[in-house]
Amino acid sequence: MSKIKSIEDLMKIKEKALKELQLRDTGKRGKITVAMGTCGIAAGAKETLRAIVEALAENNISDIAVVQSGCMGLCEVEPTIEVRLEGQEPVVYGHVTPENAKRIVKQHILGNQIVSDLLVRKGEM
């Protein structure tokens, strides 16, 4: 570790560390829940989770929380995820493979457009 010599050096460390700290906080803009019941995992939900987290990071999105939950009951279309964004109705997507996950992040999270071919359910249960 080379010594800090200026306020710019310090700012750089702060920004990097702050991002990591913020990952902890309650997602301000929204939450993505990945169904990780046994069926989901058997269908590949773990890889889906990884893909979502990576996609969010690649697109520099740090105010969305990603959490796991148990089975949502939609086993036929696993892996499933629920996307809850502030000010929008919650949306459940099915068949969320890692590629589809990336699509959802780009189109829905970034572009605010529902990905209709993967949509399973809209609105509160």
Partner 1 sequence: MPLTTSTILICAGGACISSGEISVKEALQREIRKYGLDEVVRIVETGCMGACSLGPLMVIYPEGVFYQKLTPQAAEKIVQEHLLKGRIVQEYLYKMPTGEAVPEAMDKLPFFARQVKIATRNVGYIDPANIEEYIARDGYFALTKVLTEMTPEQVIEEIKRSGLRGRGGAGFPTGLKWELTRKAKGDRKYVVCNADEGDPGAFMDRSILEGDPHTVLEAMAIAGYAIGAQQGYIYVRAEYPLAIERLQIAIAQAREYGFLGKSILGTDFSFDIEIRIGAGAFVCGEETALIASIEGKRGQPRVKPPYPAQSGVWGCPTVINNVETLACIPPIIIKGAEWFRSIGTPSSPGTKVFALAGKITNTGLVEVPMGITLRELLYEIGGGSSTGKKIKAVQTGGPSGGCIPSEYFDTPVDYESLQKLGAIMGSGGMIVMDEDDCMVDVAKFFLEFTVDESCGKCTPCREGTRQMLKILEKITSGEGTEEDLQELETLGNIIKDTSLCGLGQTAPNPVLSTLRYYRHEYEAHVKEKRCPALRCKALIRYVIDASKCVGCTACARVCPVNAISGELRKVHSIDNSVCIRCGSCIEVCRFGAISKVSP
Give the DSSP H/E element, type plus range, for residue 25: none
Of residues 22-81, those binding partner 1 (CB under 8 A): 23-27, 31, 33, 36-37, 49-50, 53-54, 57, 65-70
Q: How far is the CB of 121 from partner 1 (least distance, A)?
A: 18
Kindly tell me the burial class for residue 76, based on how many C-beta atoms sit within 10 Å of its own C-beta (0-12, 13-18, 19 or more): exposed
Total residues at interface with partner 1 (CB under 8 A): 34
**What's the distance, Cα to Cα, between the start and end of the chain in Å?**
52
> ∠47-34-17 over CA atoms, to 5°?
80
User: Which backbone phi and psi does 124 adopt, to 5 degrees?
Assistant: -70, 150
Q: Does 10 bind partner 1 (CB under 8 A)?
A: yes
Residue closer to partner 1, measured from CB, 27 or 94: 27
Residues of the shown chain interacting with partner 1 in the complex, contacts defined by CB under 8 A: 1, 3-7, 10, 13-14, 16-18, 20-21, 23-27, 31, 33, 36-37, 49-50, 53-54, 57, 65-70
